[in-house]
Amino acid sequence: INPFCEIAIEEALRIKENQGEAEVILISIGDAVCQEQLRTGLAMGADRAILVVADKPLDPATTTEVLAKIVADEQPELVMLGKQSIDDDANQTGQLLASTLDWPQATFASKVEFSDDKADVTVTREVDGGLEAIAFSLPGIITTDLRLNEPRYASLPGIMKARKKELKEIPLAEAGASDSLQVETLTLVPPSVREAGKTVETVDELVELLHSEAKLI
């Protein structure tokens, strides 16, 4: 589980603990390895999980199609996602899902508060130079930032219970999408290696290097 999504799980569990009647459903898209990650979330305290089986990574647009289908089936009041994945750092899925569902959204949450009637949410997010508070009525989308909470560790009883919790697998086609990418990564190369610096003894040497090597003069 990437750190941002782990924080989303923790916040969902805290909401459940405070409100009492909530159900926490985990969703992941991937191969069989994702089962272990979902079991970890179930051991933390989530109620059940859904794995959409895909043999290769999906782009944010296709991921959004899958999530929108599951949201339509499950009818949750609140969807929480990590603000970004840690492989491509795309930071798009939460926003695309909110647009697709036509739901309000609050991104990069560092604090989440509910109204007394639990129908409205106020999200605090850190911005350059201060804090911004965003309020919306449910249903809605929240993406989580690192400062929102400190995720709990799964306890031994939680790990034992997780083995008996429902983990449903759905083929990708059944979830309303294909594995054809709408956005393709063409190249991925590391940055060029920086050369070690040189120490010069005189101004003349410095000027010569700036002219012959750096091509600055």
What is the number of other CB atoms lying within 10 angstroms of the CB of residue 8?
A: 27
Reduced to 3 states, what is the DSSP secondary structure of residue 165? Answer: coil
Residue ranges of domains in the chain: 3-182
| pLDDT tens by residue, 167-215 | 999 999 888 777 777 777 788 888 888 878 888 889 988 888 888 887 7
Structure tokens at 104: 């309000």
* Span 57-70, pLDDT tens digits: 888 999 999 999 99
Q: What angle do CA 144, 146, 148 make, to 5 degrees?
A: 65
User: What is the distance between the alpha carbons of residues 114 and 138, in angstroms, rounded to a whole number?
Assistant: 10
Residue 189 is predicted with a pLDDT of 87
Q: Domain 3-182, what architecture?
A: 3-Layer(aba) Sandwich (3.40)
First to last CA, the chain: 51
d(CA 22, CA 13): 9
